[in-house]
Structure 1
Amino acid sequence: MTEQLTPADPARIGGHRLLARLGTGGMGVVYLGRADTGELAAVKVIRPEYAAEPDFRARFRREAAAARRVRSPWVVPVTGADPEAEAPWLATAFVPGPALAEAVARCGPLPERGTRILGKILARALAAVHAAGLVHRDVKPGNVLLAVDGPRLIDFGIARSPEETALTSPDAVVGTPGFLAPEQAQGRETGPAADVFALGCVLAYAATGRPPFGTGAVDALLYRTVHDEPDLSGAPDGVRDVVARCLAKDPADRPTATGLDAVLVEDAPEGTAEWLPDDVVRLIADRSAAMLALPDAEATVAGAAEAAPAAGRRRFLALGAGGAALVAAGGGAALWAGLRDEGGSGSAARRWTLGVQADLSGPQRAAGRAQERGVRLAVEQFNARERRPFELAVAVADDRGDPAEAERAARRLAADRDLLAVVGSTGDKTTGAALGAYDARRVPQLTVSSAQGAYGTASRRSLLQTVPTYGTTSLPAALFLQAEGVRRVGMVIDRAAGEFAWEEGHLAYKTLGLVELEVHPRVVPRSADSPAAVLADVLDRRPDAVYYAGSPRRAADLAHKLLARDFTGVRILGYPAAGPEFTARAGPAAEGWEVFAPYIDPEAERVAGFAAAFRKRYGHAPGRWAAEAYDVAGMVLDRLTEAVLGGRRPERGRLFELLTGSTYRGMVREYAFQDGYLQGVEAFHYRVRHGRFAYAGPADVGA
């Protein structure tokens, strides 16, 4: 997908007329350009701060020359480069098709034959890379483009000769976690075998729709890559055996790229895409037609300032603790009357849509229903105002907490051209499953309770996490332990509970160390029947406190064991385990456990006005996460209003920019973002009293 050029973008680079932006990254901007010969190219332009470094230029010079040495129809060729230019650039032939990551996210896994043919062609591509004396080092679904005449391997941004490592820090991990070989994950020397391992990961993803080592925090991904066996469940037999060989931990046990080509005895038709499913072929055709139909761009001037916002812009939406209040600004009606929507009709008559994707009937239905009702209340209060710039509808999709249904629900919602943003989904797995569909259509996706730190291969072009990620609540926990005079902490990280437990526990371990607490961590294996199995070792260290990251059921087992051992120290429970199941199973053993969570108590004074409005509307008290969902809906409404009063059509991309580029003060917390993540760690303290989690007030998060 392309984005419009900005006024600050140059008109030409190295003989290429720039037409659009293809993407941005940490190192620079990639443009779609048209050469003087008429051919399209992807032109990567390096950021000035890197161009000023002599070492970086040396590396860029080497890598541009290295990429030119590769000769294969399945590797996108370098068509030009200028490492000495003021803004160094490199151009490759443009492939107007989707990445494998997008194709799988939107259309599902490939069939067995399609996966094997993909593997055979990519093995040939890697064989050519290795024959040129290079290692690609970042083979992943996002670097495999699907074209009408076959796949292409792209991006030699970090490819180099195996001996050329001087410009890389010895302990740096280069590549994409989840698609790295164990030797890469450990920062050791890598060779062609690392590319074969990565290809195995890509084929596992193509066949199952998920990376073989899961998703989640980077540290967790690297740990599983080095120590765990890949999850190949669901992969066809004809794919599983080949992939398993590629994913051998020892590089010497993996096949070569040439050997893999020979093993995959398939009819690999050149010049066609008939080996792909029909919906993927249609996606390739649609993307190719859209890209190739781009007109020449108007000239822009490098360094030109962006247009200033309309003078006198006024914000007139305020969502406070007592509900929504609309403050009309003088002259606003004239602005509304002049707006036009995509169809050319007056926007005041247009009914735009805010989506809610949630688990309304599955394992997290209580949180999902609370979030849906929080969003509805905010929108209803907005629509009840007499003077409003637009009317907003709410479209709801129940994904039942199932990743497959979450992907289908996201596709349905994203297909609505009037959908401007979506709040959801409720859980980590469903959020990750839905991300590809929303990202493909640039629908801003705002999570309320999904706190995972990473979502595999999906990009973050449209995702905003409005909740602190797992483990960040360990900061107030650490400060609390410090204030209680705790010196030694026994930490139990229960891997059987899932990704969140590892992510939460690992970051908590680091955070506790930062405040100079002595931490003794123990990891409970997936196969262990109970975390209590490691308790004796933890208590042998004579800790003043025990910190558990895991599930509510297994937390209850641990609580019973601690009570039986007469442990009287502080007990910290990671918030994902804090719920009715823990208190019901633990009984008296739950008393006194401390929890630091990102959600506010619905009865807290800070949200009293909201709670009263919620009771009036629904006849019962709000549940956990309802206030946060109301806040997030209020933020979307506020930014939409800003777009409308600024005279702008509220397009999805523009709305995402407004959401990420400014700060919103809600009832629960302040919302400001960097790279899609919430900044700040506002948390709330709970303590089990008389069988329930009693609210103890806002947590101390330091200065």
Structure 2
Amino acid sequence: MHDVWPASGVLLASRYRLVTLLETGGMAQVWRAVDELLDRPVAVKLPAGDTRAAHLAWREARLAARLSHPGIAAVHDYREAVRPDGSVAPFVVMELLSGETVAARLVEGPMPWGEAVSIGTAVAAALAAAHAAGVVHRDIKPGNVMLCPDGVKLLDFGISAAAGEPDDDDTGATFGTPAYAAPERLDGKPAEPATDLYGLGVLLFEMVAGEPPYCVDTWEELAAAQATGPSRLPDGLPAGLRDLIYRCLDDDPYRRPSAADARKALARLIPSTPARSTIPLPEPPPTGLARVIPATGRRNRTAGRLGAVAGLALVVAAFVLLINTVGGPDGGDEETAQPPVGTPSAAPSATTAAPQPPPAITTEATPTATLTVDAALGRVRAAVERGEERGEIRPDVALDLMNLLRQIDVSDVDVSDQVDQLSSKVRQRLGEGALTEAQASVLQSRLEDLRDVSGA
């Protein structure tokens, strides 16, 4: 009887037990497996075909091992197994992910542009990390971006290359899919990060339009389509998003943005209201805290309307809710007048002073009128530390935020880019449930203070 290999139950390298075949492609199979040494589920990628496929598996493992980023699927191990015929089969052991790919999501049709921007921001951040490590992915497409419960993950570095590495593939096996291939790849130019930015442009285009700019299946069809130009983007997109997509799709790689610049541009476009539940875009932060901007006395408009329209009873209720939610301001309790029993609530008259909103929570006695960039940065750090102590920020998220804060140079004239990154991170983590709404409100308030004083 002919043995089928690989098959469920096969033990590779005396450690990895194959369980279920997850995916079969032209160059590899991906299996769900169990690492019996560490007792954890993993994904095992077994190359199919000739020795070239085996060599690519080794390259993928080496290049992906350089990368450590929450938006990139981790590679755990590289091993070799022996087939029943005595030949050697190399394999790569990777992080096992749950969720759906962008390709699966697009079966339902185009995404709301806000969701596409959120995904694109995460992909650009992962690419920036890969490029900083000297790795070019070369195969950015919807099937290689997974929407997981804990965020967006970039997959499959199977045809990746080191930046500057000559493209000596005469067979086209590592060119990827025609609809997503950058023009310079067809010219045999060395691997460069700009190639991935073209892929990001195609990805963004397809997410909002439902199909790539060149909807083709073969290289011949691609050449013909490029002669007439790409299809049109849908109407109603923000001008900034439209401009970024076309910049990424520029035929000249030197005119495309870097991954870091693309991330910044996309992060500024993330809407404050959720577009869809697949990638959680958080609700706007609660406005119970009336924030005073340094030296200006401006207040949150929603909080101002609360005091002027809702009346004394609603303010008292909101203040009690705020205390129960975020711990309330420091200091002793204050007496609050209650309306007489049986008397309906009413807005305060012109001769009655409007009730003052509760003060913002602080952990240090820094006068807001004399707030410096250094002091404002310290207030953000203190809020992160206090949130972690109270269990309102998950420890790994607190560490991530503190690492970003350490990168801010207070000697810079303007730190708005770093603040944008932190603000986007807070919104993302709020959507993931990694911090409370009250804590997110405090952090966003203090980040805006930091932005205000740095730009003053």
Query: The TM-score by the shorter chain falls in which range?
Result: 0.5 to 0.7
Deviations 1:606-629 (A, max 9, x none): xxxxxxxxxxxxxxxxxxxxxxxx
CA contact (8 A) 2:151 2:279 kept: no
Aligned to 2:92: 90
Q: 1:75 aligns with which of 68, 72, 75?
A: 72
Give runs of aligned pairs for residues 290-305 of structure 1, distance below 5 A.
Answer: none
CA contact (8 A) 1:69 1:132 kept: yes
CA contact (8 A) 1:97 1:147 kept: yes
* 1:209 lines up with 2:246 in the alignment: no
In 2: Cα distance, 1:241 partner to 1:166 partner: 30
Aligned to 1:22: 22
Deviations 1:532-577 (A, max 9, x none): xxxxxxxxxxxxxxxxxxxxxxxxxxxxxxxxxxxxxxxxxxxxxx
Give runs of aligned pairs for residues 33-44 of structure 1, distance below 5 A.
Answer: 33-36=33-36, 37-44=38-45
- 1:124 counterpart letter in structure 2: A
Structure 1 position 167, deviation (Å): 5.5
CA contact (8 A) 2:57 2:92 kept: no
Structure 1 position 173, deviation (Å): 6.3
CA contact (8 A) 1:28 1:45 kept: yes
Aligned to 2:110: 109
In 1: Cα distance, 2:207 partner to 2:70 partner: 21
Structure 1 position 275, deviation (Å): 4.7
Return the structure number with greater strand share. 1
Summarize the Cα distance change of 1:8–1:17 in structure 2 as closer, same or farther, 3 Å threshold: closer
Deviations 1:25-47 (A, max 9, x none): 22232101122333322211123
Q: 1:64 aligns with which of 61, 67, 78?
A: 61
Deviations 1:256-296 (A, max 9, x none): 00111121234879xxxx95613x469xxxxxxxxxxxxxx
Summarize the Cα distance change of 1:68–1:187 in structure 2 as closer, same or farther, 3 Å threshold: same
In 2: Cα distance, 1:81 partner to 1:32 partner: 16
Give 3-state SS (helix, strand or coil) of 1:178's partner. Answer: helix
In 2: Cα distance, 1:7 partner to 1:258 partner: 41
* 1:141 lines up with 2:136 in the alignment: no
Deviations 1:320-352 (A, max 9, x none): xxxxxxxxxxxxxxxxxxxxxxxxxxxxxxxxx
Aligned to 2:359: none
Aligned to 2:255: 253
CA contact (8 A) 1:171 1:187 kept: no
Give 3-state SS (helix, strand or coil) of 1:88's partner. Answer: strand
Deviations 1:478-499 (A, max 9, x none): xxxxxxxxxxxxxxxxxxxxxx
TM-score, normalising length from structure 2? 0.53
- 1:174 counterpart letter in structure 2: F
Give runs of aligned pairs for residues 330-409 of structure 1, distance below 5 A.
Answer: none
Where does structure 1 differ by over 6 angstroms across 4 or more consecutive aligned residues?
Answer: 170-173
* 1:126 lines up with 2:123 in the alignment: no
In 2: Cα distance, 1:234 partner to 1:6 partner: 51
In 1: Cα distance, 2:146 partner to 2:126 partner: 12
Summarize the Cα distance change of 1:184–1:7 in structure 2 as closer, same or farther, 3 Å threshold: closer
TM-score, normalising length from structure 1? 0.35
Summarize the Cα distance change of 1:20–1:8 in structure 2 as closer, same or farther, 3 Å threshold: closer
Give runs of aligned pairs for residues 153-192 of structure 1, distance below 5 A.
Answer: 153-165=154-166, 168-169=169-170, 174-192=175-193
In 1: Cα distance, 2:42 partner to 2:60 partner: 18
Structure 1 position 195, deviation (Å): 0.5
Structure 1 position 211, deviation (Å): 0.9
In 2: Cα distance, 1:223 partner to 1:173 partner: 21
Structure 1 position 168, deviation (Å): 1.7
Give 3-state SS (helix, strand or coil) of 2:178's partner. Answer: coil
In 2: Cα distance, 1:179 partner to 1:186 partner: 15
Give runs of aligned pairs for residues 531-570 of structure 1, distance below 5 A.
Answer: none
Summarize the Cα distance change of 1:267–1:247 in structure 2 as closer, same or farther, 3 Å threshold: closer
- 2:44 counterpart letter in structure 1: V
Q: List runs of 5+ in structure 1 lacking aligned partners.
A: 283-703
Give 3-state SS (helix, strand or coil) of 1:122's partner. Answer: helix
In 1: Cα distance, 2:181 partner to 2:147 partner: 22
In 2: Cα distance, 1:202 partner to 1:146 partner: 14
* 1:32 lines up with 2:29 in the alignment: no
CA contact (8 A) 2:57 2:91 kept: no
Give 3-state SS (helix, strand or coil) of 2:162's partner. Answer: coil
In 1: Cα distance, 2:19 partner to 2:177 partner: 29
Please report the RMSD computed on the Cα atoms of aligned residues, expressed in angstroms: 2.9
CA contact (8 A) 1:170 1:187 kept: no
Summarize the Cα distance change of 1:191–1:219 in structure 2 as closer, same or farther, 3 Å threshold: same
Give 3-state SS (helix, strand or coil) of 1:21's partner. Answer: strand
Structure 1 position 225, deviation (Å): 4.1
Summarize the Cα distance change of 1:207–1:56 in structure 2 as closer, same or farther, 3 Å threshold: closer
CA contact (8 A) 2:167 2:189 kept: no
- 2:98 counterpart letter in structure 1: P
Give 3-state SS (helix, strand or coil) of 1:20's partner. Answer: strand
In 2: Cα distance, 1:7 partner to 1:163 partner: 36
- 2:254 counterpart letter in structure 1: A
Structure 1 position 247, deviation (Å): 0.7
Give 3-state SS (helix, strand or coil) of 1:31's partner. Answer: strand
Aligned residues: 268
Give 3-state SS (helix, strand or coil) of 2:89's partner. Answer: coil
Structure 1 position 80, deviation (Å): 1.1
Summarize the Cα distance change of 1:87–1:7 in structure 2 as closer, same or farther, 3 Å threshold: closer
In 2: Cα distance, 1:234 partner to 1:217 partner: 28
